[in-house]
Structure 1
């Protein structure tokens, strides 16, 4: 008695790519190239001879790469002093902003009091005020307390710039942490403040990282406040880049591009260190807020 062989199942047909998805991928790649090109051009120009940057036909690739522009920037003492100034101002502004924003977010999220809605609206309205409209009052304020041309004075102004956004964003993170977790810790004998530091604060880690990176970028890249509040002897790196403009002699574009590339290095390092936590924080904030 012969047994009929079972029919061999045909292999599953491979899914064909949808035309719409292919078109969307091509468009995304084109947008990515358009976004990356300025960065590429900055690095490309920094590796070329400055005289070649003034010719009518730009070169997409450096024919004879040179590091002369980088050597000139690194040999400039004002570059290192400006870099140190920017680091101090940015880190101090971020630290103060995060501390104040966490306290404000907890108050707005956990407590119910008269005027709470007005404070929330005021936080949003403050972000709509143009920075240029406050220059005169800010200058006179710092001058009255002898904080002009100082790390503390400039950091204070940056805190006022980024604090409303950070507080509003962290409020969404605090809203996403169930208050029952704190109540359970209080039942176990912890105080209300202790429950916050032991339970809620660790859960705000991704939010603190993402908002801290935002505050650092704002302070690191800010130009106009630093130009107004600091003297020519003490500047931040965005203002320092202006020194490559040599009046009637033109602009040293090789130095500008090399300096801009070097100024970007601390930001790139920061993103590499916190990119995973920052991505988690941005998604969580979008869902919980």
Structure 2
């Protein structure tokens, strides 16, 4: 075959239409992937949709059979009832106080522990690290009786301090390991450069390391905040009616021995979930960056 024939055959191959079999394979719709996505979307959003629908359904239609995906009548009386109930605002105030202080305390302690585990080498370091991690292996309900007895001896029951200490106890291990992974991703050259510039360990950590660790701090802080905001068991047991947070407060308010006000409870659940949702949306960029950076060692 001559060079001219080769060029002619190559040009014909470029200008020829694509093969039917290959084109059909590329354009074949991925029905399996779309079906899986639809199932996952229904699994994730159908409970939220049902929560919203029930919150605007009148009481006499909340238990209609068969259940209706689209309500025939809509009412916002349940939401108005929430803002007319002073006890809900007291529970909201308690949740904000406990969650914010738990977040600040957890981040303040875990950032020093995570940095020490990551950048310092000392005797018993690995044993202490695994000891901190092993605390997550025990069910939290097993420690409830012990914490109740300890707080009762120190007269801390029905106080904010009991809730803050118990929440911080369970948020610290994960926050420490999350921040340790993030500090591992930061190169040691930053510390050496700070030493050359004359910065001591304290200034190096606060002026050089912490600004770079902002995504990790936000990620661990969000975890601690959600832990304090959503807890039910410890808030119900360790706090009295005046110090209870939103989860047990709403249950005691809308669920009684004789009946359950499901529409009002659903409306209250949607309202109290707004602060957490807003926090996640506003700090989503830092949350994703902190989790991914803390999961990979550089």
Provide TM-score, normalisation by structure 1.
0.91
- CA deviation profile, 1:176-218 (whole Å, cap 9, x unmatched): 1111101101101111111111211111111111111111111
2:126 to 117, 120, 132: 117
Whole-angstrom distance in 2 between the partners of 1:42 and 1:146:
39
- CA deviation profile, 1:75-116 (whole Å, cap 9, x unmatched): 111100001100110110010000100010111111111111
Whole-angstrom distance in 1 between the partners of 2:289 and 2:178:
14
1:26: which partner in 2? Answer: 35
- CA deviation profile, 1:4-51 (whole Å, cap 9, x unmatched): xxx9985997893455x5422331232022111001100110001012
2:283 to 248, 264, 274: 274
Q: How do 1:61-100 and structure 2 match up within 5 A? A: 61-100=70-109
Whole-angstrom distance in 2 between the partners of 1:225 and 1:104:
25
From the CA coordinates, give the structure whose radius of gyration is larger: 2
1:228 to 221, 237, 242: 237
1:107 paired with 2:116, answer yes
> What runs of 5+ residues in structure 1 fail to find an aligned partner?
1-6
Whole-angstrom distance in 2 between the partners of 1:262 and 1:177:
40
1:245 to 246, 255, 268: 255
- CA deviation profile, 1:233-260 (whole Å, cap 9, x unmatched): 3311000121211212x10001110011
Whole-angstrom distance in 2 between the partners of 1:154 and 1:45:
32
User: Aligned residues, how many?
Assistant: 281
Cα 1:133–1:12 change in 2 (3 A) is farther
1:144: which partner in 2? Answer: 153
Whole-angstrom distance in 1 between the partners of 2:100 and 2:17:
57
> What runs of 5+ residues in structure 2 fail to find an aligned partner?
1-10
SS in 1 for 2:122: coil
2:54: which partner in 1? Answer: 45
Whole-angstrom distance in 1 between the partners of 2:196 and 2:31:
56
1:16: which partner in 2? Answer: 26
